[in-house]
Amino acid sequence: MDMWNFVAGGAAIGLIAGFWEKIKAIIWRIASLFVQQIEIPTEAAHNAVVSYLIKHHKRLGLYDRMYGAIYEHHRDGRYGLVPYESYGNRGLTFWIGWFPLWFSNENERKAKSGTGGTQQQSSHDSSTARVFSTLTFLRGTLDIESILREACSEVNRMNWAVTAEEEKAKARFVIRFFPSRGNEDHDYSYGSNGLAWYQQALYRLLSHSPDQLGKGSLHRGKALTNLIFPQRVKDLIKEIELWRNNRSWYLDRGIPWKRGWLLYGPPGTGKTALARAFAEDLNMPIYVFNLAEMSNHELIKAWCEMQVNVPCIALIEDIDNVFHGRENVSRKGAGLMGLMLGGSRGNDNDNEKPRESYSPLTFDTLLNCLDGVERSDGIFTIITTNDISKVDPALGQPRKLPDGTVEFISTRPGRVDKAVELTFMEPADKKLMAKRILSDYPEPYASVLAFVERYPDLLETPAQFQ
């Protein structure tokens, strides 16, 4: 009798296992009369919803936690580990008033079940692979559309905070590099909303506050006042501030809310330092583009990402090292190399195009980003060059007026509106730098002043003189 019971039990278990998927489907159909499940197919919506729920609703303390620590810049100038708890990677239960809401990360669920994470699986089941998370709740108890609207509105309010009071409270000055530099050991330095990871509700900092993290000031006081430039150059910050604070003026007159400057002059004249000082003093994020290492697809994608965090500064350094006129000279032979090697694919997610590592950036793509069909309002573009003669006229060109003076003419407002020459130091600025560095040392200070008086026409950049 025991043997027959054992065999019958085994047969029953086998029968249930064989029909388990059908049984589960029937159970879910019955449960779906009372329970509703919502899928979120985009990363931006996933992050926005998780941040909103964490910030505004209580959560059940019984969940699998995820902790980590990454190296990050501190505002005091140091660089060290920052511990945190990460939300959204594990299942969570929230209470919306008296009713529960179950949040599930689909990548985690598929990883545990062994059905996700491979390209083979995602190619055959792309609809499942695109689901980032699911929300499950009792029918009729929650308005998910309202939650999604509020979550997206909250993200937008953070990104669109452009008044002086809101900016001061948010510490918007950050530096982001495209493509990411090799010393960034994590893929979430910045979220899809353009904010630094420590500014997002997806992370709970364990030993820091958000205003303690990020690039610190390199100087005491205002960054621009600590740089040695002629007053005509320092006055330029007033133009950027006027542009930043008057978005409605541009829109009312149908003028694109964007500007572009070209900083040119010999190496060491402070072109990059000036761009950073503008961003730091005006509390705007600065995005640094290394065009020599980017393909067309990468530049377009990065330019779109930047637009969620306007107003901001886009810095394109040493364009003469990338383009001579319209020719990309930074990666000659890259196209042939790509054909020989078949290109290389990055490790982006399944919805993104592969990285075209051997496909050089084209000048037309750069122009389209600066001023194409898609208007990039809210971006102040600064391009630097050591040799202005190599800059294509499509960006702008100098012309001589009848009285002999030279002005810079843009081919189209919003690309490059003004060229600013940063050249060798004037004697008065040399004396100012000498006083700043040597005022506590009378004899060396007097010696340098005498040197400047003796050779007033000596050509030196700020870097050389320092």
Average pLDDT over residues 110-114: 56
Q: Phi and psi of 61, rounded to 5°?
A: -75, -10
How confident is the model at residue 117, as a pLDDT? 46
- 10, two tokens: 């085994």
How confident is the model at residue 297, as a pLDDT? 92
d(CA 313, CA 197): 19
pLDDT at 60 over 50: yes
How confident is the model at residue 113, as a pLDDT? 56
Grade residue 108 by pLDDT with cuts at 50, 70 and 90.
low
d(CA 464, CA 430): 11
**Which CATH code is given to the segment(s) 224-421?**
3.40.50.300
Q: Out of 19-28, 45-54, 127-136, 426-435, which region has the weakest mean confidence (pLDDT)?
A: 19-28
How confident is the model at residue 189, as a pLDDT? 59
Tens digit of each residue's pLDDT (9 = 90 or more) over 137-191? 998 888 989 999 999 988 887 766 655 444 555 567 888 888 876 544 444 456 5
The owner of tokens 């205002």 is 222
pLDDT at 362 over 90: yes
d(CA 41, CA 235): 48
d(CA 449, CA 443): 10
How confident is the model at residue 47, as a pLDDT? 87
d(CA 45, CA 51): 10
pLDDT at 58 over 80: yes
Q: Where is 429: in which H helix or E strand?
A: helix 427-438
Q: Where is 45: in which H helix or E strand?
A: helix 43-56
pLDDT at 2 over 80: no
Peptide bond into 179 cis (omega under 30): yes
Global pTM value: 0.73
pLDDT at 337 over 60: no
How confident is the model at residue 408, as a pLDDT? 66
Tens digit of each residue's pLDDT (9 = 90 or more) over 177-205? 888 765 444 444 565 556 678 878 889 99
* Residues contacting residue 371 through CB under 8 Å, at least 6 positions apart: 256, 412, 414, 415
pLDDT at 444 over 90: yes
Tens digit of each residue's pLDDT (9 = 90 or more) over 374-409? 677 889 999 999 988 888 888 876 667 788 766 666
Residue-averaged pLDDT of the chain = 79
Give CA torsion, residues 293, 297, 299, 302, to 10 deg.
Answer: -120
Q: Is 293 exposed, middle or buried (0-12, 13-18, 19+ CB in 10 A)?
A: middle
In sequence order, the β-bridge partners of residue 92 are: 103
pLDDT at 77 over 60: yes
Q: Where is 52: in which H helix or E strand?
A: helix 43-56
Average pLDDT over residues 110-130: 48
Grade residue 107 by pLDDT with cuts at 50, 70 and 90.
low
How confident is the model at residue 235, as a pLDDT? 81
CB burial string 107-125: b at 16+ within 10 A, e below:
bbebeeeeebeeeebbeee
How confident is the model at residue 183, as a pLDDT? 47
Share of the chain above pLDDT 90, in %: 24
